[in-house]
Structure 1
Amino acid sequence: MMYQLKNITTSVTYNAEELELVALLNSKPFDTWNCKCPLTEFPRGTSTARKNLKDKLKRELLVIQENYCAYCGINFCLVTNSKIHRDHVLPKNTERYRKFTYESKNIVLSCDTCNGLDIKKDKDYVTYYSDDYDSIKTSIVHPHLDNVEEHINLNNSIYAEVVNDSQKGKMSIIEFELNCERNLVLRGKLMQRTTVNTAEEQLVDSIMGHFRQLR
């Protein structure tokens, strides 16, 4: 399957040692996702421990998300591994959300298109803020906190359709270009055909090759 859009029903669980590391990293008033972990701020070995944690997040999220982008639903088999992003739903480079840098519900895997400069990147979609992450509300469908099926329907059409006039559904469809040509091709192949002949396969491959060249 090349396309599947659904909410993430579970998040990565940290062990006691990882929770201690996360608490330390999240407590700093600067970017701890990419900093060099100076010894004046962190104990020796923090950089290695952080890398292991980030690797774990990517490894386990690939399984949890079943290899699909959290925003557009594209299968990661269509992009190279280097283009699979660990994305922060709430931007990590904003002082207000820095405490959630390693909050597992704030991290998803996305394709480079959805997390690129032309779409999400560091946009702030929060409409209601709380120090309790589970209480935060966003203008887009939050991959961890919302049920996609309550906002967007993809069951009976190649087009992403808004459910019950959902404003979140409308916003996500617009922001992540869910009805762009690339996604329509993929959904058309998946949802409208029980069998795919060679000519159709070649057409899909040709269009996808065109999109890769434009990036």
Structure 2
Amino acid sequence: MIRFKKWALIDANTIATLDKYPVEKRPSRWDGQTKAVKKFKDEVLKQGLAIQEQKCAWCTLNVGTLGRRTAHRDHIAPKAKYPQWTFFAKNLIIACEYCNGFAVKGEINTVSKVEDVYENCIFHVVHPYLDDPSDHLEFLGDSPLSVTIRSRTPKGLWTIDKLQLDTAGATMERAKDRLLEMYMNDLSPAQKGLLKSASDSLGK
């Protein structure tokens, strides 16, 4: 996992509009087409990809055009259970389609203790903004090829288990991404294409 020291900044007028929605209706508004909702979602995605350097916050794999994996706006505390934080930028990160899918994170309850103030909540999951992931998780191996993940705390263990971060598939994909990052800058365009093609074929 990666720690992020900032999150998407949304203009005050947009937030004021979103705050007018009744709390219980905010999850259904998420898929709406109002100007405020679209602007919020667009900014979360655009700024999130830049802040996270096009990496999934959970598994650290490349997303978007860089990784050819769909970038999702993921509610850390699921909006279905915590509608009050549907449009709270600090509750959103960018995740790959696999980590955010129903087979992995989906609507799993990530909150252990709810408080009125979001930052005062206690989370089951290692929180990319509120926690330092290195306190709870570590990657084994020689940097930059440290791709095998291990827990250091119960919170780290919960996160690895529920988000399936230590599977053979996740570990292999991280290794492929790291190799590409190490060598792409030194290769010719033809070599880059060949390496990318070979890397993609490993996952089939």
Of 150, 157, 161, the residue aligned with 2:150 is: 161
Q: Structure 2: how far apart are the matches of 1:200 and 1:34? A: 38
1:90-125: CA deviation from partner (whole Å, max 9, x where unpaired): 11122xx11111111111111110011110111111
8 Å CA contact retained: 1:182, 1:207 = no
Q: Where does residue 85 of structure 1 map in the other structure?
A: 72
For structure 1, the 5+ residue unaligned runs are 37-46, 211-215
Q: 2:24 maps to what in 1?
A: 29
Q: Would the aligned equivalents of 2:29 and 2:37 in 1 still touch at CA under 8 Å?
A: no
Q: Could you tell me which residue of structure 1 aligns to residue 99 of structure 2?
A: 114
Give yes or no for contact 2:61–2:174 (8 Å, CA) kept in 1.
no
- Matched residues, number: 187
> Is this contact kept in 2: 1:127–1:137, CA < 8 A?
yes
Matched, 1:20 2:16: yes
- Residue 203 of structure 1: CA displacement? 5.2
Asked whether the equivalents of residues 129 and 136 of structure 1 are also in contact (C-alpha less than 8 Å), the reply is yes
**Structure of higher RCO (CA pairs closer than 8 Å, 6+ residues apart):** 1
* Identity across matched positions, percent: 25
| 19, 23, 45: which one aligns with 1:58 | 45
Q: Which residue of 2 aligns with 1:142?
A: 127
CA contact (8 A) 1:91 1:122 kept: yes
Q: How far 1:201 moved relative to its partner?
A: 6.1
Quote the residue 1:41 is aligned against: none
Relative to structure 1, the CA distance from residue 34 to residue 179 in structure 2 (aligned partners, 3 Å threshold; closer, same or farther) is same
Of residues 193, 207, 210 in structure 1, which corresponds to 2:202? 207
Q: Which amino acid aligns with 1:78?
A: G
What is the Cα-based RMSD across aligned positions, in Å? Answer: 2.5
Equivalent residues of 1:186, 1:204 under 8 A apart: no
Please tell me whether the aligned partners of residues 29 and 98 of structure 1 are also in contact (alpha carbons under 8 angstroms): yes
Shift of 1:184: 1.8
Distance of 1:79 and 1:171 partners within structure 2? 28
TM (norm. structure 1) is 0.77
Which whole-Å CA distance do the structure 1 matches of 2:23 and 2:174 have between them?
43
Quick one: which amino acid aligns to residue 28 of structure 1? V
The answer to whether the Cα contact below 8 Å between 1:185 and 1:204 also exists between their aligned partners in 2 is no
Deviation at 1:139, TM superposition (A): 1.2
TM-score calculated relative to the size of structure 2? 0.81
> What are the superposed Cα offsets for residues 155-189 of structure 1, whole Å, 9 maximum, x if unpaired?
634310222xx011111111222222232223335
Q: CA deviation at 1:78?
A: 2.3
Q: CA deviation at 1:153?
A: 0.8
Distance 2:100 2:182 in 1: 31
